[in-house]
């Protein structure tokens, strides 16, 4: 049986719906298990995410696109360059939408289906939004993604093609996160922001489970840190395996951040329990551009418990590492994941990680989603396409294309972001142009998209493919 428990004061909460914050002390909640009850079980089923279902919070309906079970590459050429004997890359680019976040989406969308939600919301600077959009599409749910102003083009393209409703909010993901919280409070939508749903941490620990089966326990496990959740997930995974008697040792964790955005590294260096918030964070590695990491406390705990290291690297070294991973190992990693190799290089040069040490680096997502080159090439188009998608009329059509709705229902589905009067004005204009029609049912005026309206929506979708 799973328990949802406070990481600080141990207060216990209902398992569902997943809440992230303790009402008593304000600290983060996490899922834990009765390991004695789990006893002496073996993992069963094909090598993939759901093989570890017994060590995940219970779900009834499975939302799956074939996530997990990703390869662990022996990186011999890269290792030689750094004079290391054993270096592995855990290649999470091989997931269905090319990032580790597919594990989160699989578990959270399964949970949303169990709890009978129609709408899922998340704040994301890319990968999670892309994953959720795909899993929601597969499950017939509506996915709302709040993205910050700066977002990787490839990830935005994925959200668009998977039919998510996208809203741009704030400069960095920290602002988007606040918006996702307030929208959830207003609408009751399923909250799937990684930092606001403890299922995210649970889902990602399966990366540790897979590595333990593929290779065993490395001496060092290197991850890049944005919110810090992934660092903690991996550590939690290894610790659970040890509690279960499946492994004897634990790895030392290394957390890497970009020099221009290193709130967790700074706190670790100063031996503080909480991240040092960075007001104006900068890095090209957008997936780890988080000034106020909400899981920072947990990451710092993992670093401390594992006698780990936190290190920051400049963007130039991250970009050089990205090219090196591609050139020497045939893997196109996104900048955030490449930071792990840049960090490893430093630690190897300083002889902190030695020749004999066995090292695993986590490659979280594909570089195809994140290239700066792509972004600068398509910047203009982003504005044009997002403009269409973000217009209220576009959103109304998107919702009506799924199901007829009445005015109040539409207003709720749009997140109550404007007055109801404004919605009716849009609806009337759409009706005048023959894009929607109305009819009466149970005393309510329903709106329905016309063939013409559908055609317009198709044109918007065709435009998207021009990306």
Q: Which residues bind Zn ion (CB under 5 A)?
A: 6, 8-9, 11, 22, 24-25, 27
Query: If DSSP states are collapsed to H, E and C, what string results for 166-195?
Result: EEECCCCHHHHHHHHHHHHHHHCCEECCHH
Size of the chain, expressed as the number of residues it contains: 467
Distance CA 390, CA 384 (A): 10
Least Å from the CB of residue 108 to Zn ion:
23
Cβ atoms within 10 A of the Cβ of 299, count? 32
Least Å from the CB of residue 30 to Zn ion:
11
Conformational region of residue 351, where left means phi above 0, alpha means psi within -120 to 50, and beta covers everything else: left
Q: Cα 384 to chain center, whole Å?
A: 26
Q: Are 436 and 407 in contact (CB under 8 A)?
A: no
Least Å from the CB of residue 155 to Zn ion:
34
Distance CA 127, CA 134 (A): 11
- Return the H-helix or E-strand segment holding 463: helix 451-465
Of the pair 24, 416, the CB lying nearest Zn ion is at: 24
Least Å from the CB of residue 300 to Zn ion:
17
Least Å from the CB of residue 8 to Zn ion:
5
Three-class SS of residue 382?
helix
Of the pair 29, 121, the CB lying nearest Zn ion is at: 29
Please report the beta strands in 9-157, taking only residues with DSSP state E, as ranges in sequence order.
12-13, 29-33, 72-74, 86-91, 119-123, 142-147
Least Å from the CB of residue 270 to Zn ion:
25
Of the pair 148, 198, the CB lying nearest Zn ion is at: 198
Of the pair 7, 214, the CB lying nearest Zn ion is at: 7
Of the pair 24, 327, the CB lying nearest Zn ion is at: 24
Of the pair 298, 361, the CB lying nearest Zn ion is at: 298
Of the pair 28, 177, the CB lying nearest Zn ion is at: 28
Distance CA 45, CA 58 (A): 17
The alpha-carbon radius of gyration of the chain (Å, integer) is 23
Of the pair 16, 19, the CB lying nearest Zn ion is at: 19
* Residue 339 CB contacts under 8 Å (≥ 6 apart), including other chains: 224, 256, 257, 258, 285, 288, 313, 318, 321
Least Å from the CB of residue 10 to Zn ion:
7
Q: What does the buried/exposed string (b/e) look like for 31-69 if buried means 16 or more CB atoms within 10 Å of the residue's CB?
A: bbbeeeeeeeeeeeeeebbbbbbebbbebeeebbbebbb
Least Å from the CB of residue 128 to Zn ion:
26
Instruction: Tell me whether residue 2 is exposed, middle or buried, using C-beta atoms within 10 angstroms of its C-beta: 0 to 12, 13 to 18, 19 or more.
Output: middle
Least Å from the CB of residue 38 to Zn ion:
25
Of the pair 27, 392, the CB lying nearest Zn ion is at: 27
Least Å from the CB of residue 296 to Zn ion:
17
CA dihedral (277, 282, 286, 287) in degrees, to 10, reads -30
Of the pair 9, 384, the CB lying nearest Zn ion is at: 9
Least Å from the CB of residue 22 to Zn ion:
3
Of the pair 25, 115, the CB lying nearest Zn ion is at: 25
Q: Are 423 and 405 in contact (CB under 8 A)?
A: no
Three-class SS of residue 438?
strand
Instruction: Tell me whether residue 276 is exposed, middle or buried, using C-beta atoms within 10 angstroms of its C-beta: 0 to 12, 13 to 18, 19 or more.
Output: middle
Three-class SS of residue 10?
coil
């Amino acid at each position: 049986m799973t328990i949802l428990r406070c990481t600080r004061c141990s207060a216990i909460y209902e398992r569902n719906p997943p809440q992230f914050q303790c009402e008593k002390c304000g600290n983060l909640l996490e899922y834990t298990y009765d390991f004695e009850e789990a006893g002496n079980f073996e993992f069963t089923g094909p090598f993939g995410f759901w093989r570890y279902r017994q060590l995940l919070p219970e779900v009834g309906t499975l939302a799956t696109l074939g996530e997990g079970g990703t390869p662990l590459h022996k990186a011999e050429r890269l290792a030689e360059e750094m004079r290391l004997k054993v270096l592995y890359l855990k290649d999470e680019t091989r997931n269905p939408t090319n990032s580790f976040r597919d594990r989160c989406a699989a578990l959270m969308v399964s949970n949303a289906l169990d709890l009978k939600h129609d709408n899922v919301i998340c704040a994301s600077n890319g990968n999670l939004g892309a994953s959720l959009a795909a899993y929601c599409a597969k499950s017939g749910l509506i996915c709302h993604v709040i993205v910050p102003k700066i977002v990787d083009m490839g990830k935005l393209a994925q959200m668009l093609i998977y039919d998510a409703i996208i809203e741009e909010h704030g400069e960095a993901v920290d602002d988007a996160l606040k918006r996702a919280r307030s929208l959830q409070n207003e609408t009751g939508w399923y909250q799937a922001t990684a930092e606001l749903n403890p299922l995210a941490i649970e889902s990602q620990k399966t990366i540790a489970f897979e590595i333990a089966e593929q290779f065993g326990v490395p001496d060092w496990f290197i991850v890049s840190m944005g919110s810090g959740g992934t660092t903690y997930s991996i550590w939690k995974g290894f610790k659970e395996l040890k509690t279960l008697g499946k492994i004897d040792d634990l790895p030392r964790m290394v957390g890497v951040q970009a020099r221009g955005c290193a709130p967790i590294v700074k706190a670790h260096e100063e031996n503080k329990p909480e991240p040092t918030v960075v007001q104006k964070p900068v890095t090209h590695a957008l997936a780890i551009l988080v000034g106020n990491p909400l899981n920072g406390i947990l990451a710092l705990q993992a670093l401390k418990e594992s006698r780990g290291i936190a290190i920051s690297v400049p963007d130039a070294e991250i970009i050089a590492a990205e090219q090196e991973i591609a050139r020497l190992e045939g893997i196109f990693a996104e900048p955030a994941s490449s930071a792990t190799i840049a960090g490893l290089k430093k630690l190897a040069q300083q002889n902190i990680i030695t020749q004999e040490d066995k090292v695993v680096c986590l490659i979280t997502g594909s570089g195809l989603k994140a290239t700066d080159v792509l972004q600068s090439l398509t910047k203009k188009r982003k504005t044009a396409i997002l403009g269409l998608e973000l217009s209220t009329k576009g959103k109304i059509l998107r919702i009506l294309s799924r199901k007829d709705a009445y005015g109040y229902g539409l207003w709720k589905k749009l997140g109550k972001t404007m007055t109801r009067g404004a919605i009716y004005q849009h609806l009337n204009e759409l009706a005048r142009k023959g894009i929607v029609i109305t009819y009466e049912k149970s005393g309510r005026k329903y709106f329905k998209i016309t063939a013409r309206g559908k055609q317009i929506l198709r044109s918007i979708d065709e435009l998207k493919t021009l990306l």
